[in-house]
Amino acid sequence: MRAAVMYSAGDVRVVDVPDATLVEPTDAVVRVTRACICGSDLWPYRDMAPDAAGQSMGHEAIGVVEAVGREVSRVRVGDTVIMPFAYSDGRCDFCHEGLQTACIHGGFFGWGGFNGAQAEALRIPFADGTLYPFNRSTDSSHWASLLSLSDVMGTGHHAARSARVRAGHSVAVIGDGAVGLCGVIAAKRLGAEQIILLGRHPDRVALGRDFGATDVVGERGDEAVENIRALTRGQGVHSVLECVGSDASLANAVAIARPGGAIGRVGVPHYEGIPAGPTFFKNLVVAGGPAPVRAYIDELLPDVLEGRIQPGRVFDRTIGLEETPDGYRAMDTREAIKVMIRTTAS
Ligand SMILES: [Zn+2]
């Protein structure tokens, strides 16, 4: 079968790999219908050291179950499913508490010997705990939004929840990528009154306003901090959704949070530490981490199916699997917000 493999920074190829097969009795094999490229895939795309064996890529997909192991009972062959970016057994204490990304048997697709989703098919460990079946007859116009539930929409929601977004509160969203834009959707959905999006790319800002951003700040650094203070009576915002993960974005988040406020961080951290002094003296909550998107599908799916939210609009380009290398290039140059990979003819 065909799959995307990264060999070094800037070098993604679609190559022949062994077919996905069942290994454990709790596995399923999913034929991928739609996959996509994640902002987090761009980190290795920029700095991966050469590796002759390569890294299997992709961790977001919807697809159809093609085979199940003998201990799989809830998921059936032929089910159409959402594949969250992390696999989880669905049975441990953390899974029961809704923190599947801390599952004691869990892990992330594309790592630890598990193939990525930018492929024709993939092996799913703990299929019953991991996969989320949805109705097969679901209109294909919903597919993009359903795909977003495998990562970006659930991650934006996790940022908002971790930042304690409440009705009537003020929110700032750092990052105008797909996760940040989904964070705007999540903040509005949770009732935020003021939603300030930090971004400058015209297409992204326009989509952010459609999703519910009330203000847009295009400056960076100190100037952005000043503008946000001016928009919030000099106080800062109750909630900051930190959707980037850089030193600069974390420093901004701490600077624009109101005393007693909260930062929900979902950008994979590429910074060393969290500023001890300002977070202490401002009584800030700093929360967040890998989003347990599996736990959030129950809550978000009805809003998608009934059209109340349309996170699938973050996909502004669709390509075939063989064109995946160009999809990376388009996202890396910010030509595309998020690229969807159409792996099948349907
Ligand atoms: Zn678990």
pTM: 0.95
First to last CA, the chain: 18
Cα 5 to middle of ligand 1, angstroms? 28
CATH number of 2-151+292-342, picked from 2.60.40.10, 3.10.20.310, 3.40.50.150, 3.90.180.10? 3.90.180.10
Cα 266 to middle of ligand 1, angstroms? 21
Cα 144 to middle of ligand 1, angstroms? 27
2-151+292-342 and 155-287 have identical folds: no
Cα 86 to middle of ligand 1, angstroms? 11
Cα 89 to middle of ligand 1, angstroms? 4
Cα 220 to middle of ligand 1, angstroms? 40
Cα 78 to middle of ligand 1, angstroms? 25
Cα 48 from chain centroid (whole Å): 21
Ordered alpha helix ranges (H), 142-292: 143-148, 152-162, 178-189, 202-211, 221-231, 247-256, 276-281
Residues 152, 179 contacting (CB under 8 angstroms): yes
Secondary structure (3-state) at 12 = strand
* Rounded CA separation 285/264 (Å): 8
Cα 91 to middle of ligand 1, angstroms? 5
Encode the chain (346 residues) as per-residue pLDDT tens digits.
999 999 999 999 999 999 999 999 999 999 999 999 998 899 899 999 999 999 999 999 999 999 999 999 999 999 999 999 999 999 999 999 999 999 999 999 988 778 899 999 999 999 999 999 987 677 788 999 999 999 999 999 999 999 999 999 999 999 999 999 999 999 999 999 999 999 999 999 999 999 999 999 999 889 999 999 999 999 999 999 999 999 999 999 999 999 999 999 998 898 889 999 999 999 999 999 999 999 999 999 999 999 999 999 999 999 999 999 999 999 999 999 999 999 975 6
Cα 131 to middle of ligand 1, angstroms? 13
Cα 97 to middle of ligand 1, angstroms? 9
DSSP element (H, E) containing 42: helix 42-47
The domain segmentation of the chain, as residue ranges, is 2-151+292-342, 155-287
Q: What is the third-level CATH fold of 155-287?
A: Rossmann fold (3.40.50)
Cα 167 to middle of ligand 1, angstroms? 32
Cα 128 to middle of ligand 1, angstroms? 11
Please count the other Cβ atoms lying within 10 Å of the Cβ belonging to residue 277: 8
